[in-house]
Structures are given as structure tokens and as C-alpha cells.
Amino acid sequence: MKFFVLFGPPGAGKGTQAGAMVERFNLCHLSTGELLRSEIAAGTPLGLQAKALIEAGNLVPDSVVEGMIEDKFQSVKGVKGFLLDGFPRTLAQAEALDAILAKSGDQVTACVSIMIPDALIHERIAHRAHIEGRADDARPEVVENRIKTYHDKTEPLIAFYKKVGKYSEIDGVGTIEQVRERIFSAMDKF
């Protein structure tokens, strides 16, 4: 079983590329946002816990998200692996993921990081806000905060995955097809 971590700053193209990655490598795409919405809609115990926290204006703790991911690892069949999108985002989450996978003798296969410069992040997110009507993408101060959060919280994962030889950085500048080929080439090595 392969376990790929997909990350990059907002607007890097993770959502655009994930579908093709899943199809080419027969992976189950686990997006933490979609997973939370699905668990809540299904009324699972973890979903009910998450719903209560969200309705109270609180963040869903790592332990709840980790439980949902571990459940998916155990329940999803007929795939060659998983593409984790939105998790891990912090060193603590990366360590928790390693612990979850170790229970079944598995480990992260690789971290595929799509990188683009900050100026392009602003440009892409503004375009996405216009095309998709996403209010959260329309306010420059919100976008700036998301970029800062990415640099502060998620970028430390680069060193974490480099240290264990599982980091693959993809140049996210270019056409969708050019970036996709770079991703496929990197993933083929694992």
C-alpha cells in the first residue's frame, strides 16, 4: 500500500492535480475538508463530534481528524494506496500519521509538494475567487493569512520529509499538463 502526502501553498494546484494522481495510481483521495463533511453528513460518531465542535465555533482537534483518516485506511478497499490532501499540515500531525501507519507496518511513501511563488498564489486565488465565486478567496487579508499560515505551519514538513528521503518538490509553474507530468514522473520513482 502506498501513502502519498500532497501539499503546497493555497492555489498551487493540489485540487486540480489530485484527480489525475488518483486515477493514474489507483489511489483513494482523502481530503480532510471533504472527509469532515462526509462524516458529518453520514452521522458517524466522529462526524457528530466534529459537528458539535464546529457548531460551537471551535476547531476540530487533530485527534478527531486522525480518527477519521485511520478509519478510512482500514475501510477503503480496492485501491493501491492513498493520497492525503490537507493532512498532515503540522509536524505533530506528521508524527501522528507515522504512528497510525506504523500500527499496520506501513509508512508514508512520499511527500509530493507543488511549489509556486507567493505572487502567483495571489494571482491564482484571485482568479479562483472570480471563477468559483469563493468569498474566502476574495479578501486579500484572508489570502495573506492563509499564505502566512502555510509558511509558518506547513513548510516545516519539508525538512521533516527531506530528512527521511521522502520529499519530492514539484515546480507548480506552467500549464496543468506540464505540472502533471512533473508530478507523475516524481511519483513513478516511488
DSSP string, 12-57: SSHHHHHHHHHHHHTEEEEEHHHHHHHHHHHT-HHHHHHHHHHHTT
Span 33-52, pLDDT tens digits? 788 888 889 999 888 988 88
Give pLDDT, residue 144: 84
Instruction: Read off the pLDDT of each residue in 14-30 and give the average, rounded to a whole number.
Output: 96
Tell me: pLDDT of 59 over 90: no
Span 64-105, pLDDT tens digits? 889 989 999 999 999 999 999 989 988 999 999 999 999 999
Give pLDDT, residue 135: 66
H or E element, residue 187: helix 176-188
Catalytic residues: 14, 89, 128, 134, 146
Q: Where are the domains of the chain?
A: 2-188
- Classify burial at 184, counting beta carbons within 10 Å of its beta carbon; exposed 0-12, middle 13-18, buried 19 or more: middle
pTM: 0.86
More confident residue, 105 or 143: 105
More confident residue, 72 or 134: 72
Give pLDDT, residue 174: 95
Q: pLDDT band at residue 141, thresholds of 50, 70 and 90?
A: confident
pLDDT > 70 fraction of the chain, expressed in percent and rounded: 97
Contact (CB, 8 A) for 72 and 82:
yes
CATH number for the domain formed by residue range(s) 2-188:
3.40.50.300
- Cα–Cα distances (Å) from 50 to 1, 60, 67, 93, in that order, read 28, 6, 11, 17
More confident residue, 32 or 166: 166
